[in-house]
Amino acid sequence: MRLRAIISYDGSAFSGYQVQPGKRTVQAEIERVLQIMHKGTVVKVVASGRTDAGVHATGQVIHYDSPLTLPMDRWRTALNVQLPGDIRVLSVEQVQDDFHARYDAVGKTYRYIWSLKEVHSPFERNYSVHVERYKPNIEWMKEASVHLLGTHDFSSFCASNTSVKDFVRTVHSIRLEVHEELNQLHMEISGNGFLYNMVRIIAGTLWEIGIEKKSVEDLPEILRSCNRKNAGKTAPAHGLYLEKVVYLG
């Protein structure tokens, strides 16, 4: 039986999502708990994609196979009881045997959060990015973001250490919004898929436009150049959240 789960995790204390020998990772924690539930049998977990060290998730999707005849509403509790508090299973459901969390994903939504507080709150220090003494011009960031909408070669917004050959992706929407009550700036970005570090490089580039290190007019040229060097710095991992993975049907 194939199961699909939506999970949330605080990336702060993980060396990313994917299993790495000797490191604490989200995948390793989930596989450890599934192995206990399956009396020692290894259960492989497949996610929609990996996330880097420090990156958070509020809607990561995984799949795994299990012969257990557990009532569906017991799965979530059974996993959460044994998982550490920085990973929570939000839901578990049965899916068709050929469902694949990675190959079947047709879209993703990420969120990037900056704190606009004068002093960074100690409660937010791992959950939003604070840049001392800078107030970004959010209208400029919005104007620039429009250039990224649609289908483009995003080579300029991809970390150079990648094995990917096709750099064309479609960005469906980018919303920049100030949450007054939290004194935070959020960027919500949706697309059919994202290259390695693409969201963080977009966040870093828009931020540089906001603080006048780059101008709105630079963005089309950065995109056209297909050269990572022309985009802004990669924004820090701890401001990034994988929020949603979209599947057909």
Annotated binding site for substrate: 110
**Rule CB under 8 A: which of 98-127 touch its own copies?**
119-123, 125, 127
**Among 212, 240, 228, which Cα is nearest to 111's?**
240
Taking CA atoms, 47 is separated from 85, 89, 91, 99, in Å, by 19, 13, 14, 12
Which among 47-55, 86-94, 183-191, 198-206 is the span making contact with its own copies, rule CB under 8 A?
86-94
According to CB under 8 A, which one of 8, 15, 162, 183 is a site residue for its own copies? Answer: 8
Count CB neighbours of 98 within 10 A.
8
Residue pointed to by tokens 């999707």? 61
Least distance to its own copies from the beta carbon of 120, Å?
Answer: 7
Return the SS3 of 222.
helix
Distance in angstroms (rounded) separating the CA atoms of residues 28 and 20? 8
52 catalytically annotated:
yes
Residue 176 burial (10 A CB sphere; 0-12, 13-18, 19+): buried
Q: Which is nearer to its own copies, 51 or 145 (CB)?
A: 51
Binding residues for its own copies, total number by CB under 8 A:
19
Does residue 218 interact with its own copies by CB under 8 A? no
Q: Which is nearer to its own copies, 7 or 141 (CB)?
A: 7
**Rule CB under 8 A: which of 37-76 touch its own copies?**
56, 76
Q: Which residues contact its own copies by CB under 8 A? A: 8-10, 56, 76, 80, 85-90, 119-123, 125, 127
| Residues with active-site annotation | 52
